[in-house]
Amino acid sequence: MNDPKNVERTGSGLVAVVTGASRGLGAGLAKAFADTGLRLALCARTVPAVPEGADAVTASVDVTDAGALDRFADEVVERFGRVDLWVNNAGVLGPIGPLVDADPEALRRHIDINVTGVLLGCRAFARVVRAQPGGGVLVNISSGAGTKIYEGWAAYCASKAAVDMMTAVVATEEHTHGLRAYALAPGVVDTDMQAQIRATPAASFPSVARFLKLDQEQAFNSPGWVASFILDLVEGRRGATDGVRVRVPDQPHDG
């Protein structure tokens, strides 16, 4: 894949929305997009910080609140005139452990954020795209867990499988309006979520050893690497080979 430092981007000045942008992958994407010259609209439950030098709109938004998402989208369009890229990144991992032991309210909250929140984000962006010329690109952050079984991740695997399918439906429904949609598995990025995984006992998550090994080897994808891949999608340098599902390749590491 192209090194983000070595690619001359044509997308400077485009407008990108990132949900869940106050930390982790979302904050990393925001910084990388800002470094590339994109104008930003960042939201999370906690108002995200603006990357240095960025032209940005920020807001506290609960992605499970359709009205709040619609108002945020309207604010972005009022400020910048359009939205070119919308990244539904907000999500949670837990509860972790056998489904039989899971708290029902925690399960409901997980699905509300990871599934309903993405559905509502897709809805908000599709309405924007239908009202503007030139189309737009939707990226829903998914995971290999959407197609691979991980014991202890019943809710997470289910939610990411749902993200994959909803993305395919949106891509089909909105194609004639110029919306391109992708369910993106970013690979393993070292965030608070990864720290949560590594702190989970093997009895609750039998695959924890794999993630501990990745940490020992520092074999992570950086947010900048993921952002570069997303911009390749926006600029037409890449496309999906498996329907709408795409996976960021592993980032090369010296040594």
Among candidate residues 72, 80, 153, 156, the one labeled active-site is: 156
One-letter amino acid of 177: H
Contact between 188 and 211 under an 8 Å Cβ cutoff? The reply is yes
Residue ranges with strand state E in 38-105: 39-44, 56-60, 85-88
Can you count the helices (H) and strands (E) in the chain? Answer: 8, 7
Residue whose token pair is 């032209």:
55
Q: How far is residue 51's CA from residue 40's CA, in Å, rounded to a whole number?
A: 9
Q: How far is residue 86's CA from residue 252's CA, in Å, rounded to a whole number?
A: 27
Residue 156 known to be catalytic: yes
The residues that are catalytic are: 156
